[in-house]
């Protein structure tokens, strides 16, 4: 099964941990996982000591999850390729639409 | 096969970007073979108010997204009980007012529901 996850809240919110746990569990069961992060959700990828979620997202990515960000919501929040976890894709709402279309289930954490 | 995607707009457009962002994402959903409906419910019905200009208080505009969805043949609907509870103000002409039963039917028939 292909699972899509939308995350729109910042790393302080419990949504991040919940989305990560769901994603990890799905991968361990052999499902494909794609995350799309937009609005404050893009700050989850900020690679800093103050953000433990970034490391967990990197680990999820290493397990096989694809992580795409809404590029236009990254700009006003200062999220750049240099400040983000390596390997995440700076995408657009086109990617969001395609994830919704191709996944069997789409979960929203926002 | 086309999916039915329903974006549920639950926030007003004047004190958060979430209503505008939800409608922007709804327009984005039309970039895949999907039927898109934006459902304005709760305080979210305020996003469908006629003549609304959130840019006057520094918030992003929403009317362009509503008009784009309509132009592309998709729907923007407002929950009637929410609208009545908030004073039954005039709505943007592209916004359809629907009863709660139709809201429930819409959600039931949707392949994807995105609460925003």
Domain borders along chain B are: 3-115
Give strand pairing partners of A30: none
pLDDT for residue A50: 87
pLDDT beneath 50, residues of chain A: none
Minimal C-alpha gap between B21 and chain A (Å) = 8
pLDDT for residue B14: 97
pLDDT string in tens for chain B (116-residue length)? 799 999 999 999 999 999 999 999 999 999 999 999 999 999 999 999 999 999 999 999 999 999 999 999 999 999 999 999 999 999 999 999 999 999 999 999 999 999 99
Give strand pairing partners of A89: A68
Q: State whether the Cα torsion A10-A71-A108-A66 is positive or negative.
A: negative
For helices B18-29 and B63-71, the axis angle rounded to 10 degrees is: 20
Question: In terms of residue numbers, what domain contains A76?
Answer: 2-109
pLDDT for residue B32: 97
Pick among A15, A93, A105 to test the B interface (most B CBs inside 10 A) = A93
The mean pLDDT value of chain A amounts to 97
**How remote is the C-alpha of B8 from its chain's centroid?**
7
Q: Which stretch of DSSP H or E encloses residue B112?
A: strand B112-115
* Partner A contacted by B35 (CB < 8 A): no
Q: Based on the structure, what is the number of domains in chain A? A: 1
Structure tokens that stand for A14 in this block: 């419990």
* Partner A contacted by B107 (CB < 8 A): no
Q: Alpha-carbon distance B67 to A46, whole Å?
A: 35
Looking only at the bridges linking them, the beta strands covering A89-91 and A105-109 are unpaired
Residue length, chain B?
116
With CA atoms as reference, the chain A residue closest to B6 would be A100
ipTM: 0.93
What is the CATH superfamily name and number for domain B3-115?
Answer: DsrEFH-like (3.40.1260.10)
Q: pTM of this prediction?
A: 0.95
Q: Indicate which CATH number applies to the domain containing A92.
A: 3.40.1260.10
């Amino acid at each position: 099964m292909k699972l899509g996850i939308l995350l729109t809240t910042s790393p302080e919110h419990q949504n991040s941990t919940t989305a990560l746990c769901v994603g990890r569990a799905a991968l361990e069961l052999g499902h494909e996982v794609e995350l799309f992060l937009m609005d404050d959700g893009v700050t989850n990828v900020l690679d800093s000591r103050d953000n433990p979620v970034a490391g967990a997202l990197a680990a999820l990515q290493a397990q096989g999850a694809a992580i795409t960000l809404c590029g236009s919501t990254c700009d006003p929040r200062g999220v750049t390729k240099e400040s983000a976890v390596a390997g995440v894709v700076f995408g657009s709402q086109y990617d969001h639409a395609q994830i919704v279309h191709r996944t069997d289930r789409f979960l929203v954490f926002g | 096969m086309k999916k039915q995607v329903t974006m549920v707009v639950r926030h007003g457009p004047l004190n958060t970007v979430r209503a505008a962002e939800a409608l922007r994402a709804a327009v984005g959903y039309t970039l895949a073979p999907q039927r898109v409906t934006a459902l304005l419910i709760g305080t979210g019905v305020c996003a469908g108010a006629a003549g609304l200009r959130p840019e006057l208080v520094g918030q992003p505009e929403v009317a362009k997204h509503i008009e784009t969805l309509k132009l592309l043949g998709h729907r923007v609907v407002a929950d009637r009980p929410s609208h009545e509870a908030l004073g039954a103000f005039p709505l943007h002409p592209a916004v359809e007012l629907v009863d709660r039963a139709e809201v429930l039917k819409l959600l039931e028939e949707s392949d994807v529901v995105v609460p925003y």
